[in-house]
Amino acid sequence: MFTCVCFLFIVLVGNGEGTTSFKPLSGSIDTLIHLREMFHREDIDDNGIIEYTDARETDIRVDANHDGVYTQEEFDADPDLSGYNQRREWIQLDVNNDGIITHEDTKLIFFLGPPQYNLEQFLEFFANQRSPRRGEITVKSFVLAEENFRLTDINDNGLVSEREFTSVFRVADYNHDGVLQNLELNRYRPLQNVPVNEYCSDVTAGCMVEDFLVMFKESDVNNDGTLGLKEFLVTFGTLMDSTV
């Protein structure tokens, strides 16, 4: 059964209404990265939201023997559910308690709950099912930092190089004076929404590219000259937590 259905049903039964009000949620960086990968796998049409059509296509894909029924064995074997309390999830998904899950369950969940979810909503609901852990960041910070990572990763290879890091600086430096000041700081993607005094040596004089490269080099824990998503989030996602 489509992984997203799991969290949609949790939302649905969590308050009995299909609407939610929730406090800021958090998760470990590793957990949120894993959930992010799940989201993009389930977002079949790559439009940034998970909706009924995505669920239908996933139902077809995971139904290995094409009999229209998702059994406990198939559910337990689903690699996307690794690390979850699968028995609990199964009970929640088997709406009529008949020991199987069919596409009718999926339709019911989308009919009664919200029709679609973006990455932030997806992460918030799944994070809410996780036990608190040390070293967590808020989902909001994760989503903002993840977006900045993707925009800074100009060649879309999953790594941010020092060259890309400085190229985005030059784009943000609207007047081309070699420093970022005032509104220009808000245009520098890797550190949007981060307190300026966290990285700028003299805010009144403006922030130079060297101020940012110090943070880049400190974040590059394996010293390969690039930042992977986890390295990026450890520094920049954590900094955003103080402002969101």
Can you tell me the distance from the alpha carbon of 231 to that of 31, in angstroms, rounded to the nearest whole number? 14
- pLDDT attached to residue 21: 42
Return the CATH fold of 3-12+23-133: Recoverin; domain 1 (1.10.238)
The mean of the pLDDT values for the chain is: 78
Percent of the chain whose predicted confidence (pLDDT) is above 70: 76
Residues 54-58: what's their mean pLDDT?
Answer: 81
Q: Which residues contact 177 (CB under 8 A, 6 or more apart)?
A: 206
Residues 26-52: what's their mean pLDDT?
Answer: 87
Q: pTM for the complete prediction?
A: 0.74
Residue 54 to residues 13, 30, 40, Cα–Cα distance (Å): 21, 25, 11
Can you tell me the distance from the alpha carbon of 229 to that of 226, in angstroms, rounded to the nearest whole number? 10
Residue 199 DSSP symbol:
T
Q: Which residues contact 95 (CB under 8 A, 6 or more apart)?
A: 9, 105, 108
For the stretch 172-199, pLDDT in tens is 999 899 999 878 888 888 887 777 777 7
- pLDDT attached to residue 53: 86
The larger pLDDT score, comparing residue 104 to residue 149, is at 149
Residue 188 to residues 37, 54, 197, Cα–Cα distance (Å): 26, 34, 15
Residue 207 Rama label (left phi>0; alpha psi -120 to 50; beta) = beta
How many CB atoms sit inside 10 A of residue 209's CB? 16
139-240 domain in CATH 3.40.109.10? no
Query: Would you say the CATH fold of 139-240 matches that of 3-12+23-133?
Result: yes
Contact 20, 135 (CB under 8 A): no
For the stretch 83-136, pLDDT in tens is 554 565 566 566 667 788 787 877 776 776 678 889 998 887 666 555 556 668
Highest averaged pLDDT of the listed ranges 22-31, 147-156, 206-215:
147-156
- pLDDT attached to residue 128: 58
Q: Where are the domains of the chain?
A: 3-12+23-133, 139-240
The larger pLDDT score, comparing residue 58 to residue 20, is at 58
The larger pLDDT score, comparing residue 160 to residue 192, is at 160
For the stretch 191-231, pLDDT in tens is 877 777 777 877 778 888 988 898 899 999 999 999 999 99
